[in-house]
Amino acid sequence: FKEVREGKAKILVPKAERIYDAPVFYNPVMAFNRDLSVLALRVLEPKEALDALSATGVRGIRYALETPVREVWMNDINPEAFNLIVENIKLNFDGALEVKEKKAILEGDKRLISTNKDANLLMDEAFRYFDFVDLDPFGSPMPFLDASLRAVKRKGFLGITATDTGVLCGAYKNACLRKYNARPLRGELCHETGLRILIGAVARYIGKYDLGFRVLFAYYKDHYFRVFLKLEDGAKKGDETVEKLGYVYFDQKTGKFEVENAFLPSRKGAYGPLWLGELKDEKFVEALYNEAQKAELAKKRKVLECLERVRGELDVPLFYELSMVAKRNKLEVRKPDLIVEALEERGFLASRTHISPTGIKTNAGLSDVVDVLRSLQ
Ligand code: SAM
């Protein structure tokens, strides 16, 4: 093992040539994901939080050290991970740790609890117990989604990571049909449609509990998706959530896209179902940004850059990938900021997007974007 520092935590991680060969998983690239999650917990102030798939415990330990959360559960099915979580708790907190039958509890001003169970079993034993449930699995969160919707309180919060971008972005179409029950779109819009397919799947699972949600913040980065949701209680909220589902039509030849807000698609060639609602709550993102300025984070500069982009981002479905617009229309590409400015001068709303450095979001149509690009040749 070697000791690494991340945020305020000291963590023992296995020494390994490649991260997937290690007996317990630790990915330093995901420090960005954990930074943003720390900020989210500082803003949301949950009392009880569950890190259902914890590996080294780094996430839960950071939550305990860097946020006001009072009780953090860290769980992993792998016994080696469980032992390491216990070691890492001892490394970061003084005090007696009682270890009994696959459960370790550290009592103090904060309660830290580590368990060695199947995540679904643990979540079903903790029915509506947690204010915040975090799913950070290998690949798809779908095998754990339903139990997480029962382990979280009816007005609680969910944090969901999906690293199976190949599936959600259409490289493995059958896997997307099977896991997310949605038809994925390949090509330039795949990262946004992938993110929306993931949220759309949650929308379709949650309704049966007479629950709905609002998206606090959802993003794509470093080949993964991450979503923070605030649950909303009641059948009406469930209905309102389902009403934000729909489909996308995309013509690969011209690059024209269209969205249809409906439970069933009206014609052939639809991609989805997917979420057509918001990808952020402005106040929440503003609060994350304010916290990020104050906090000691592992990837502070990157986090601030990302949040700055997201703050200015127009919250409408899909975007224009300028390199593709240029190529299809045999034009030369121009800087995205120039296009945004030119569209705004013509009275449209327009912005950059965190999803692609060369993409722009706008309420203008494709022909307007092409016109603007042509005028800048
Ligand atoms: N959350 C961690 C972090 O931020 O570093 C990374 C978690 S890692 C991607 C996924 C973990 O899930 C692995 O440690 C694996 O042992 C664990 N796991 C896989 N299936 C599980 C199950 N059914 N129940 C509990 N843990 C499981």
Residue 84 confidence (pLDDT): 97
Residue 285 confidence (pLDDT): 98
Indicate whether 159 pLDDT > 90.
yes
Q: What is the mean pLDDT of residues 26-50?
A: 98
Q: What is the mean pLDDT of residues 14-21?
A: 87
**How far is it, in rounded angstroms, from Cα 210 to Cα 277?**
19
Residue 18 confidence (pLDDT): 87
Each residue's pLDDT tens digit, 48-69: 999 999 999 999 999 999 999 9
Indicate whether 95 pLDDT > 90.
no
Phi, psi (rounded to 5 degrees) for 4: -120, 160
Q: Please tell me the pTM assigned to this model.
A: 0.98
Atom index in ligand 1 nearest the CA of residue 27 equals: 5
Residue 188 burial (CB < 10 Å; 0-12/13-18/19+)?
Answer: buried
Q: What is the amino acid identity at position 168?
A: L
Q: What is the mean pLDDT of residues 326-351?
A: 98
Tell me 45's DSSP state.
-
Residue nearest to atom 10 of ligand 1 (CA): 137
Residue 337 near residue 345 (C-beta atoms within 8 A): no
Residue 299 confidence (pLDDT): 98
Residue 136 burial (CB < 10 Å; 0-12/13-18/19+)?
Answer: buried
| Ligand 1 touching residue 224 (CB < 6 A) | no
Q: DSSP E strands: which ranges in the chain?
A: 2-6, 9-13, 48-51, 71-75, 97-100, 103-106, 111-115, 130-135, 152-162, 211-221, 224-233, 245-250, 257-260, 271-275, 320-321, 350-353, 356-362
Residues in Cβ contact with 330 at an 8 Å cutoff, skipping those fewer than 6 apart? none
Residue 19 confidence (pLDDT): 86
Which residue out of 11, 20, 24, 25 has the highest number of ligand 1 atoms within 8 Å of its CB and is therefore the one to mutate?
25
Percent of the chain past pLDDT 70, that is, above it, reads: 100
For residue 280, list its beta bridge partners: 217
Mean pLDDT of the chain: 97
Residue 107 confidence (pLDDT): 84
Closest CA to 69 of 31, 114, 37, 26: 37
Residue 115 confidence (pLDDT): 97
**How far is it, in rounded angstroms, from Cα 326 to Cα 199?**
31
Residue 278 confidence (pLDDT): 98
| Ligand 1 touching residue 62 (CB < 6 A) | no
Buried b (16+ CB within 10 A) or exposed e, 226-249: bbbbbbbeeeebbeebbebbbbbb
Indicate whether 17 pLDDT > 90.
no
Q: How many other C-beta atoms lie within 10 A of the C-beta of residue 294?
A: 9
Least confident of 12-16, 42-46, 178-182, 227-231: 12-16
Indicate whether 99 pLDDT > 90.
no
Residue 233 confidence (pLDDT): 98
Residue indicated by tokens 């000291």: 10
Indicate whether 97 pLDDT > 90.
no
Going by pLDDT thresholds of 50, 70 and 90, the confidence category of residue 80 is very high
Angstrom CA distances, 163 to 33, 38, 233, 293, 347, stand at 12, 19, 29, 27, 38
Which residue out of 4, 12, 54, 164 has the highest number of ligand 1 atoms within 8 Å of its CB and is therefore the one to mutate?
54
| Ligand 1 touching residue 290 (CB < 6 A) | no
Classified as helix, coil or strand, 301 is helix
Closest CA to 204 of 280, 152, 135, 274: 274
Distance from the first to the final alpha carbon of the chain = 57
Residue 300 burial (CB < 10 Å; 0-12/13-18/19+)?
Answer: middle
Going by pLDDT thresholds of 50, 70 and 90, the confidence category of residue 377 is very high
| Ligand 1 touching residue 54 (CB < 6 A) | yes
Angstrom CA distances, 273 to 146, 179, 249, stand at 18, 13, 11
Each residue's pLDDT tens digit, 267-321: 999 999 999 999 999 999 999 999 999 999 999 999 999 999 999 999 999 999 9
Residue 147 confidence (pLDDT): 98
Indicate whether 176 pLDDT > 90.
yes
Atom index in ligand 1 nearest the CA of residue 143 equals: 23
Going by pLDDT thresholds of 50, 70 and 90, the confidence category of residue 16 is confident
Residue 20 confidence (pLDDT): 84
Q: What is the mean pLDDT of residues 348-373?
A: 98
For residue 31, list its beta bridge partners: none
Residue 102 confidence (pLDDT): 85
Which residue out of 30, 35, 53 has the highest number of ligand 1 atoms within 8 Å of its CB and is therefore the one to mutate?
53
Percent of the chain past pLDDT 90, that is, above it, reads: 94
Indicate whether 31 pLDDT > 90.
yes
Residue 254 near residue 366 (C-beta atoms within 8 A): yes
Torsion, Cα 254 186 305 284, to 10 degrees, reads: 100
Q: Could you give the ipTM of this predicted complex?
A: 0.99
Each residue's pLDDT tens digit, 232-257: 999 999 999 999 999 999 999 999 99
**How far is it, in rounded angstroms, from Cα 114 to Cα 99?**
9
Farthest-apart Cα atoms in the chain, separation: 71
